[in-house]
Structure 1
Amino acid sequence: MRNVVNRNTDIQSYFQPGEKMLWAGRPKQGIMFSKNDALLVPFSLMWGGFAIFWESTVVTQAGTPFFFKLWGVPFVLIGLYLIIGRFLVDAFVRARTQYAVTDRRIIISREGWFSKLLTLSLQQLPNLDLDQKSDGTGTINFGPDSGATSGYRGKMSNWTPALSDVPRFLGITNVREVFDLIARAQSTKAS
């Protein structure tokens, strides 16, 4: 069940002396849809469609003041991000993300523009939440899902799952096996 991680920075470089790897992996690569997209995709198409319609109408009208032509540009850019950009950013971030479970910690490492290193002690992990699909892939959340509890309030992480505020192993294969491994490691650490 051990996945080899081949990236510029090997996740083992973050291990403490004597720490042993139990599992390492990466999130699903490429474009990935989430449950939230059932609402976000129609909204983004309406927003983007209206913004593009507005801007094209204003630009083609003779005698329209320059300010009005400029006014719609940010809305068009936001619309384009909501329609396609957020999927590209999410895929970009996931391509630079690594996960590890050791005998002591959970490690999540992101490289690139949105670089971040997060470690969680097995002894102090909050409740684990497993979201498994029929093909065996899924997500393990290490804490409550902020999107479900706080609404959409404009946070980028609600639109781009890989940038979530909730620590998670997003879109991993054999998610149930990893979930069980973490639970066993926790109980071993507690004894």
Structure 2
Amino acid sequence: MNVEDKVAQTGWAGLLDPGEAILWQGRPGTAIRLGIGDIALMVFGTFFAGFALFWMVMASMAGGLFWVFGSIHFMVGLGIICWPLLGRPYLRRHTWYTLTDTRAFIATELPLKGKQLKSYPIISDSQLTLDDGTPGSVIFASEWRRGKRGSYETRIGFMQIDEARKVYGLMRGIQRSET
């Protein structure tokens, strides 16, 4: 089987440049991993949902259906609590990574967003960072995003992969061949 047939079978036909070769493909780990920020977020969500529940109970004592408006806040609190436990692993389960000899691809398929494919060139000027661990991450780009309190930088890379050192080495090899 020639290279073109293999690329067509894997779904990459028309996406790769002529002569571009796939070096590595993988997916992020889907295990639940909680950091200090996640725990703080969950504690906040617990207080948020708890206050909403307290408000709903007090409002229901006054009679009528006014207490129902508190259910929106209660559900938001539950969402904040559940995001690190269910949301992030769901996102990782629907993410795929591919490294070619010139670019890094991150593909996602989410219910409301649909399929999305982003590519990032790997050039000699790319800042590579290896977050060594089990699993590890290889950071190769960043993006500035706008939030409620101004702009913030988001790190982009192959997150929580088992072969982080290998992928980092492949990317360093791509950079060396650029010079």
State the TM bucket, normalised to the shorter chain: 0.7 to 0.9
Change (3 A) 1:124 1:45: farther
SS at match of 1:72: helix
- Structure 2 CA distance, aligned partners of 1:153 and 1:86? 21
Letter in 2 for 1:70: V
SS at match of 2:77: helix
Pick the structure with more strand per residue. 2
Equivalence for 1:50:
51
Change (3 A) 1:15 1:174: same
- Hey, which bits of structure 1, 4+ residues long, moved more than 6 A? none
Letter in 2 for 1:117: L
Equivalence for 1:116:
116
Letter in 2 for 1:25: G
SS at match of 1:12: coil
The answer to which structure, 1 or 2, has the higher relative contact order (CA under 8 A, 6+ apart) is: 1
Equivalence for 1:175:
164
Structure 2 residue 58 is matched with structure 1 residue 36: no
Q: Deviations over 1:139-176 (max 9, x none)?
A: 222335879xx9x858xxx9xxxxx9542212111212
Bigger-Rg structure (1/2)? 2
Residues 11 and 100 in structure 1, CA contact (< 8 A), matched pair in contact too: no
Q: Deviations over 1:23-79 (max 9, x none)?
A: 1100001433345214222222222222223223433x142x533x13312211111
- Structure 1 CA distance, aligned partners of 2:143 and 2:132? 15
Paired residues in the alignment total: 167
Deviation at 1:128, TM superposition (A): 2.3
Per the normalisation by structure 2, the TM-score is: 0.75
Equivalence for 2:101:
103
Q: Which of the residues 91, 94, 97 maps onto 1:93?
A: 91
The answer for unaligned runs of 5 or more in structure 1 is: 1-8, 159-163
The answer for unaligned runs of 5 or more in structure 2 is: 1-8
Equivalence for 1:66:
65
- Residue identity (%): 27
- Structure 2 CA distance, aligned partners of 1:85 and 1:111? 18
Per the normalisation by structure 1, the TM-score is: 0.71
Letter in 1 for 2:82: I
- Structure 1 CA distance, aligned partners of 2:48 and 2:144? 24
